Chains A and B, each alone.
Chain A
Amino acid sequence: MLLNQFLLLAAALFCIGVYGVLTRRNGVLVLMSVELILNAVNINLVAFGAFHDNVLGDVFAVFVIAVAAAEVGVGLAMVLLMYRNRKSIDFTEVDMMKG
């Protein structure tokens, strides 16, 4: 088994995720892209864990999944509230925190 295959896959996934986060205007799609980034990291963790024959990688991946679930819950709730207030989930329109 070659480690670099997994790493390349994870890197590709990560880049797709970053692209999605930076370019998508739809809030739900941005959250989905964040999931891609997180799963890219998970792949890295599991791959390194298997490579080093260390279960800690798997454990961390499970933690990341759990945290990601919570993050999605909070994120979707925010998107929902945003829709209720503005009838839109376009992230580019939300700039009230402008300095």
Chain B
Amino acid sequence: MLSLLAVEAYDVSFTNDANWFLENVWIIPLLPALSFVGILFFGKRMPYKGAELGIAAVGLAFILAVLTNVAWMSHRDNYDGEAQRAVAVHHDDHADDHAEDDHSDENAAVLNVDGVDEAVVLTAAEEGGEESHPAVAVLKGREWLVNGGVSFLIGTIADGPSVLMLFVVTAISLLVHIYSTDYVANDRRYTHYFAFLSLFSASMLFFVISRSTIQLITAWELVGVCSFALIGHWWEEKPNSDAALKAFLTNRVGDIGLLVGMIILFFSAGGTFDITTINEMAVNGEISDTALMWAAIALTAAVMSKSGQFILHTWLPDAMAGPTPVSALIHAATMVVAGVFMIARLYPVFYEGYDIAGSSINGLALIGAVTVVFGGLLAFVQDDIKKVLAYSTVSQLGYMVLALGVGAWTAALFHLFTHAFFKAGLFLGSGSVAHSVHSFDMKKDMGGMRKFMPTTFKTFIICSIALAGVFPTAGFWSKDEILVGTGGLGVGAEKANGNYNLMLIMGLVGAALTGAYMTRAIYLTFFGEFRGHGEPHESGKRITVPLIILSVFAAFAGFLNLPPGFLAGSASEPTGWQERFGHFFEPAAAYFPPIGHAVPSWGLAIVASIVGLLGPAVAYWYYFIKVDNLAKETGQSLTELPDGLTTRNSLANAGHQLLVNKYYLDHLYNDVIVASVKGPIAKAAYWFNQHVIDEVVDTAGRTSVKAGNFVYNNIDQKVVDGAVNASGYISNQSGQELRRMQTGKVQQYAALLFAGATILAGVLIVLI
């Protein structure tokens, strides 16, 4: 960031009229980064212990992000008409730049960068002539350093996905900051907490505007470090620090995939870190399919760990050990969406690498689909309200990855956008409840909370409905778009990318599960009799206001991307508010693959709504009718039927056990993988070390000793010492002779002096 500060504008934006906000997006991550430093050094001396600095920085970043979005929208719309002219003007500008930069022309790397921009501009010119959209991303950057002819580009990219994420991250972060002032008030590391919240936001903002893969990796790791620090915020308790370590180490597994993937991309794209160049080459087929496939697979491993995809999701529920606002931030805006955003950013690599168009199954979509269902199932057996939400996030992230896997790019980002609001709302709501009853255990310490916390209850319900995808809340629109985007079973007409039948079915199952587990969580938390201790009360304004804001977004954000044909217009020609989101945020550029856009299907929307309501209906019948009635009869507060299915049916019990043990994945990792590494593999390695490596080392050692002895006896003692002794002897002898001259008589010395001078004078005269 710092080197960006000193940048002479090496402006490579595509248009001649790019807005100031779009050219200077780097300021947005800089603000929280500065506040991190400020809080760290001066936080404790401030009146509100540094919280005000974090809120001010993030608030300012939020305002800038909103303005950037406004600027982006006008930029995007203006550009459609002016494509031709702008490209022509830019060509002139570019020539001038080139002349000024003559000194760097010998540098192959700079030429490379120039060449890249030129290529994109040319593509824009070509496309400008046609009816399709031109490239409108605003790129800025400069060389950070050059090594061996490889240019390390550093810069910002302002296009649809990045400005969208700037808004989401700053909005959620701001609300989380405000919420935290109440939630962690009087915490012993209050200042430290806010410092890391700032750094967390800064890292994620830096991530979304990254222009080179180097920046992407750096920000990715920064996000990981911040999550480690915040999950382990209360590290005095062993489970918390264990959870932080688990999150960090599980992510390291995926990070290897990230590095491998980025290295493959670097070499297969001819040695560039520029994301737009890599993407464009992938789109144009200039990178071999095999390289793209391996890169995509490696990067998928990174996404699996970062975005909590099955089977590397195990860190995510444990990460609930952190403070609840941090969980909201991690799950809605920063950490876990980093993986999804990385796919969205490098989408051509995945699109070509997995051959998404025209398939009916691929690795990415399969992982997403499995995660949707398996994550959703796990949410049923959790007693900790935050863990229900954590598995819900796993499941919803599965939707996003599934959507990206089937080519529904816009749907994935739209779901990311809507999910950020309702999931942040749910997490903050659960935090509000837990703040009041001092526990997260729904069965032991909650129940009947709707009477005590009406605001929290209402916002929680709205967010849950949005999560379950009930018409017309935000979740309905985004989930429906994903389901249509699969193109399975003939929906989405021929415009969908493929024919992903399995993904559609898994998505529908997931929708039913989502509603059902949220119904269960709501019953256990808000209905029945209060089972905890003390007198719970509604939380303060700093907690409820963010909840209300988030629930408003959860209810209405879906209208930003109404499907074409809804209310007015035809399925092929969106009008008014229809597909605004896709229009503004989907890059229509040379570096983005030509994805198909599935045509919305009324039939699927109705089927999905029915299926989505079926799950909650069953859960409602079980909890609100059967359990509730039994509770009233017995006068107890029940959480499950005493003779439930699991006690009567051994198969159901086995399934329950499987879920309670989280598919035994933790056992697999700890008892099989870690234990075998610790046990037999470590022993084998020890044996190998002792008998093979040590043997080699020992032999080398013994040989050295022998050689050393020989050298000592013959060369050192005889030759070297002999020479030294001889010179000493000679000096001694000559000294003995010469000391006789040293009589101590001054006049004799003087006589010698004059004699010597006389001889020298004689020599001088003779010679000259």
Q: Does A1 contact B (CB under 8 A)?
A: no
Distance of A22 Cα from B755 Cα, bound (Å): 11
Given A18-B754, A22-B751, A22-B754, also A91-B744 (CB < 8 A): no
Distance of A97 Cα from B748 Cα, bound (Å): 13
**B740 touching A94 by the CB < 8 A rule?**
no
Q: Does B103 contact A (CB under 8 A)?
A: no
Q: Does B634 contact A (CB under 8 A)?
A: no
Say how far A21's CB is from chain B's closest CB, in angstroms: 5
Chain A residues lying within 8 Å of B754, measured Cβ to Cβ, are: 18, 22
Question: Would you list which residues of chain A between 76 and 99 have a CB under 8 Å from chain B?
Answer: 91-92, 94-99
- Per-residue B-contact encoding for A10-34, CB less than 8 Å = 1, 0 else: 0000000010011100000010000
Distance of A18 Cα from B756 Cα, bound (Å): 13
Given A22-B751, A22-B754, also A99-B742 (CB < 8 A): yes
**A94 touching B744 by the CB < 8 A rule?**
yes
Question: Would you list which residues of chain B between 723 and 752 have a CB under 8 Å from chain A?
Answer: 739-747, 750-751
Distance of A23 Cα from B747 Cα, bound (Å): 8
**A97 touching B750 by the CB < 8 A rule?**
no
Say how far B435's CB is from chain A's closest CB, in angstroms: 93
Chain B residues lying within 8 Å of A98, measured Cβ to Cβ, are: 742-744
Query: Which of B742, B743, B744, B747 is within 8 Å of A22, CB to CB?
Result: B747
Say how far B416's CB is from chain A's closest CB, in angstroms: 92
By beta carbon, the residue of chain B nearest A95 is B744
Say how far A54's CB is from chain B's closest CB, in angstroms: 22
Chain A residues lying within 8 Å of B741, measured Cβ to Cβ, are: 99
Given A18-B754, A22-B754, also A91-B747 (CB < 8 A): yes
Say how far B762's CB is from chain A's closest CB, in angstroms: 15
**A22 touching B750 by the CB < 8 A rule?**
yes
Chain A residues lying within 8 Å of B746, measured Cβ to Cβ, are: 30, 91, 94
Distance of A67 Cα from B486 Cα, bound (Å): 107
Chain B residues lying within 8 Å of A22, measured Cβ to Cβ, are: 747, 750-751, 754
**B742 touching A97 by the CB < 8 A rule?**
yes
Say how far A26's CB is from chain B's closest CB, in angstroms: 11
**A92 touching B742 by the CB < 8 A rule?**
no
Distance of A98 Cα from B745 Cα, bound (Å): 8
**A91 touching B740 by the CB < 8 A rule?**
no
Decide if the interface of chain B is mainly helix, strand, loop or mixed: helix
**B744 touching A97 by the CB < 8 A rule?**
yes
**B745 touching A92 by the CB < 8 A rule?**
yes
Chain A residues lying within 8 Å of B750, measured Cβ to Cβ, are: 21-22
Say how far A96's CB is from chain B's closest CB, in angstroms: 6
Chain A residues lying within 8 Å of B742, measured Cβ to Cβ, are: 97-99
Chain A residues lying within 8 Å of B740, measured Cβ to Cβ, are: 99
Say how far B618's CB is from chain A's closest CB, in angstroms: 117
By beta carbon, the residue of chain A nearest B757 is A18
**A21 touching B747 by the CB < 8 A rule?**
yes
Distance of A97 Cα from B741 Cα, bound (Å): 11
By beta carbon, the residue of chain B nearest A33 is B750
By beta carbon, the residue of chain B nearest A19 is B754
By beta carbon, the residue of chain A nearest B740 is A99
Distance of A98 Cα from B740 Cα, bound (Å): 8
By beta carbon, the residue of chain B nearest A34 is B750
Given A18-B754, A22-B754, also A99-B747 (CB < 8 A): no
Say how far A70's CB is from chain B's closest CB, in angstroms: 19
Say how far A72's CB is from chain B's closest CB, in angstroms: 16
**A95 touching B745 by the CB < 8 A rule?**
yes
Chain A residues lying within 8 Å of B739, measured Cβ to Cβ, are: 99
Chain B residues lying within 8 Å of A96, measured Cβ to Cβ, are: 744
Say how far A35's CB is from chain B's closest CB, in angstroms: 15
Distance of A96 Cα from B745 Cα, bound (Å): 9
Say how far A76's CB is from chain B's closest CB, in angstroms: 15
Distance of A95 Cα from B741 Cα, bound (Å): 12
Distance of A27 Cα from B626 Cα, bound (Å): 133
Distance of A85 Cα from B740 Cα, bound (Å): 27
Say how far B181's CB is from chain A's closest CB, in angstroms: 84
Given A22-B754, A99-B739, also A92-B744 (CB < 8 A): no
Chain A residues lying within 8 Å of B743, measured Cβ to Cβ, are: 95, 98-99
Distance of A94 Cα from B739 Cα, bound (Å): 17
Say how far A79's CB is from chain B's closest CB, in angstroms: 12
By beta carbon, the residue of chain A nearest B749 is A97
Distance of A80 Cα from B743 Cα, bound (Å): 23
Chain B residues lying within 8 Å of A99, measured Cβ to Cβ, are: 739-744
Chain A residues lying within 8 Å of B745, measured Cβ to Cβ, are: 91-92, 94-95
Chain B residues lying within 8 Å of A94, measured Cβ to Cβ, are: 744-746
Distance of A91 Cα from B746 Cα, bound (Å): 7
Say how far A73's CB is from chain B's closest CB, in angstroms: 18
Distance of A97 Cα from B744 Cα, bound (Å): 5
Say how far B53's CB is from chain A's closest CB, in angstroms: 74
Distance of A70 Cα from B741 Cα, bound (Å): 30
Distance of A22 Cα from B739 Cα, bound (Å): 21
By beta carbon, the residue of chain A nearest B751 is A22
By beta carbon, the residue of chain B nearest A98 is B744
Distance of A94 Cα from B745 Cα, bound (Å): 7
Question: Would you list which residues of chain B between 300 and 314 have a CB under 8 Å from chain A?
Answer: none
Distance of A69 Cα from B754 Cα, bound (Å): 22
Distance of A97 Cα from B746 Cα, bound (Å): 10
Distance of A2 Cα from B754 Cα, bound (Å): 28
- Per-residue B-contact encoding for A38-81, CB less than 8 Å = 1, 0 else: 00000000000000000000000000000000000000000000
Distance of A99 Cα from B738 Cα, bound (Å): 9
- Per-residue A-contact encoding for B250-286, CB less than 8 Å = 1, 0 else: 0000000000000000000000000000000000000
By beta carbon, the residue of chain B nearest A96 is B744
Known: A22-B747, A95-B745, A99-B742. 14 other contacts (CB 8 A): A22-B750, A22-B754, A91-B745, A91-B746, A91-B747, A92-B745, A92-B747, A94-B744, A94-B745, A96-B744, A98-B743, A99-B740, A99-B743, A99-B744
User: Which residues in B have some Cβ–Cβ distance to A below 8 Å?
Assistant: 739-747, 750-751, 754
The 10 closest A-B CB pairs, nearest first, are: A99-B742, A95-B744, A98-B744, A99-B739, A97-B744, A95-B745, A22-B751, A21-B750, A91-B746, A22-B747
User: Which residues in A have some Cβ–Cβ distance to B below 8 Å?
Assistant: 18, 21-23, 30, 91-92, 94-99
**Subset of 7 A-B contacts with CB under 8 Å:** A94-B744, A94-B745, A95-B745, A96-B744, A98-B742, A99-B743, A99-B744
